[in-house]
Chains A and B, each alone.
Chain A
Amino acid sequence: MGFNNVIKWVIVVLFITTLVFIFWRFDPNDKKFFPTCPFYYLTGYRCIGCGSQRAIHSLLNLNLHEAIKDNLLVVISIPYLISGFVFDSIKQPSMKILKWRKILFGTKAIIIILIILLSFWVLRNLPILQHFI
């Protein structure tokens, strides 16, 4: 690993550690500290990412129930995103890994994700479902 790479990784690790510390220590409900979603601010409707900061805060404080209420999608996407990073970092994939990559991260999977994201956006703004997702 070159010197520049080491510096890059030190910065990335420091950045993530700082973020994790801030989101663990401080509650985003204290609006002074954390930016509010411009979409919510302007329209009064929640976007896909609304509540993601609170969800991370709840998760870091091991409050799964609260995190699900804040943003269900953030909670269920975490294992998927981690596995995605792992798949991306495999340099010389075997046929088996390529097959799973195709199933989990192929075109069909991505289209399903788009549908889930957009439905989540609509559903969480329906008055009946508002308190559930």
Chain B
Amino acid sequence: MKKYFYTDGTNNFGPFTLEELKEKNITRETKVLYQELGDWKKAGDVPELNELFKLVPPPPPSQTSEPGYTNFQNQTIKPKPPKTWLVESILVTLFCCLPLGIAGIVNASKVESLHNSGDFEGSKNASQKAQKWTTTGFWIGLVIGVIYLIAVMAGAAGGF
């Protein structure tokens, strides 16, 4: 039995059988994956999933579709925004490297607003920048801490 996965851009769901997948309200735009497929593909481009959309006509080309929004029975399901790295940024600000932490928080503030305006690419970018600043801060803090500890131990061993 083939097992399918689908993703909302942030979280992956699965494995599901074809029967289970039918109940997940996926659309032609939903990215799906199964083992032989190798990479994520739009569900609309996978022939054997076509029966899932029989009830829904393909979207008219003129209509601007909001990406990432899945409409089902008047219920709008918004995907989770990407990780903001806010918590990690605050930790870096408080315990290590103030400028790097602040840079992380500034980027964190952009993640959600870009996501809500439909700019998923920009939102992902801001998330990655925030991650870059915070992890840089974390490693700098760790390296300084370890060097400091070694220096102190060497000093103690040297009889200070």
**A to B CB contacts below 8 Å, 30 in the list:** A33-B152, A35-B148, A39-B98, A48-B93, A49-B98, A52-B94, A71-B94, A74-B94, A77-B90, A77-B94, A88-B87, A91-B11, A92-B11, A92-B13, A98-B80, A102-B112, A105-B84, A105-B86, A105-B112, A107-B110, A107-B113, A110-B84, A110-B105, A110-B108, A110-B112, A111-B109, A114-B109, A117-B90, A117-B93, A117-B105
Residues of B near any A CB (own CB < 8 A): 11, 13, 78, 80, 83-84, 86-87, 90-91, 93-96, 98, 102, 105-106, 108-110, 112-113, 144-145, 148, 152, 155
Query: Contacts A32-B155, A49-B93, A110-B109 given; 6 further ones with Cβ under 8 A?
Result: A49-B96, A81-B90, A92-B11, A102-B112, A113-B90, A114-B109
A94, B106: Cα distance in complex, Å: 27
Check A114–B83 contact: CB distance below 8 A: no
What is the minimal beta-carbon distance from B131 to any residue of chain A, in angstroms? 12
**A47 contacts chain B at the CB level, 8 A cutoff:** yes
In the complex, chain A residues whose CB is within 8 Å of the CB of B145: 35
A88, B108: Cα distance in complex, Å: 13
Residues of A near any B CB (own CB < 8 A): 32-35, 39, 47-49, 52-53, 71, 73-74, 77, 81, 84-85, 88, 91-93, 98, 102, 105-107, 110-111, 113-114, 117
Check B105–A35 contact: CB distance below 8 A: no
Find A114's partner among B11, B84, B95, B106 (CB 8 Å cutoff).
Answer: B106
User: Looking across the interface, which residue of chain B has its beta carbon closest to that of A102?
Assistant: B112
A84, B90: Cα distance in complex, Å: 11
In the complex, chain A residues whose CB is within 8 Å of the CB of B106: 114
A98, B78: Cα distance in complex, Å: 9
What is the minimal beta-carbon distance from A44 to any residue of chain B, in angstroms? 16
A106, B115: Cα distance in complex, Å: 11
Given A88-B83, A117-B102, A117-B105, verify A32-B152 contact (CB < 8 Å). Answer: yes
In the complex, chain B residues whose CB is within 8 Å of the CB of A35: 144-145, 148
In the complex, chain A residues whose CB is within 8 Å of the CB of B102: 114, 117
Check B94–A49 contact: CB distance below 8 A: yes
Given A93-B80, A102-B112, A117-B102, verify A52-B95 contact (CB < 8 Å). Answer: yes
A92, B10: Cα distance in complex, Å: 10
